[in-house]
Amino acid sequence: MTITRGTLLVAAAVLLAATGCADGADGEAAASCSGLVTYDSRGYLPTEETGFAVGERLGTATVEACDDTGDGVDNGSPGRRTGAYVVRGVDPAEAIAVGDSAAGTELVRVHR
């Protein structure tokens, strides 16, 4: 897989969502702003890993809404649906690739 500008933009957006949401009290990111992705009853979190090979589409994943103010109201990034793809050589129970197309995916690993 070649890293494209679209891939970098998706990764940057996720990193901003993961690091830019603070609860204000102690500067820690609110849990709902972690970039959490759900697929097949599992939660996945973004990684900074690159160089993975994308396989066939598995189905649809959900990027959870972001409560960036910590007030319990999802007034940050709204939840959205996106494609879930196999990462070649990796069990989907461990990691998947997510994005609107196979060429524009990012790697997410299961959250334990």
Look at the chain and report how many structural domains it folds into: 1
> What does the alpha-carbon distance between residue 94 and residue 87 come to, in Å, rounded to a whole number?
10
Range of the domain at 91: 5-110
Q: Which residue has the tokens 């960036």?
A: 68
pLDDT in tens, 31-90: 446 789 999 999 999 999 999 999 999 999 999 887 666 665 555 567 899 999 999 999
Q: Compute and round to an integer the Cα radius of gyration of the chain.
A: 14
pTM: 0.65
3-state secondary structure of 9: helix
pLDDT single digits (tens) 12-36: 444 444 444 433 343 344 444 678 9
Running DSSP on this structure, what letter comes out for residue 83? E
pLDDT band of 5, cuts 50, 70, 90: very low
